[in-house]
Amino acid sequence: MELKTVMLMLAVGSYIFGLLLVVFKVNNNNPKEVPYQITAKMLQGTGSLLLFIRTDVYDGLTMAANLFLISGCAYEA
């Protein structure tokens, strides 16, 4: 499997999971919810999508994508 395919699958999966969390948050007023998971998933999806677009060359956009991805992972952990 190519790297671009993996990055696209990670981006789509992160966005779908983030949107599901948004839907469940709107439909449920649970005070024990974890508020940072939605932001973390959107950061991970954005980083993966930017890496999908720019896997061939390393430039400033690739570095920003890596920062988005790492900060999303760190924010979730």
Q: What is the pLDDT of residues 16-67, one digit of tens each?
A: 999 988 888 777 776 566 678 888 999 999 999 998 888 777 888 888 889 9
13-38 residues labelled b (16+ CB within 10 A) or e (exposed): ebbebbeebeeeeeeeeeeeeeeeeb
Burial class (CB in 10 A: 0-12, 13-18, 19+), 57: exposed
Q: Is the pLDDT of residue 12 over 90?
A: yes
* Local confidence band at 15 (pLDDT 50, 70, 90 cut-offs): very high
CA-CA distance, 48 to 69, in Å (whole number)?
7
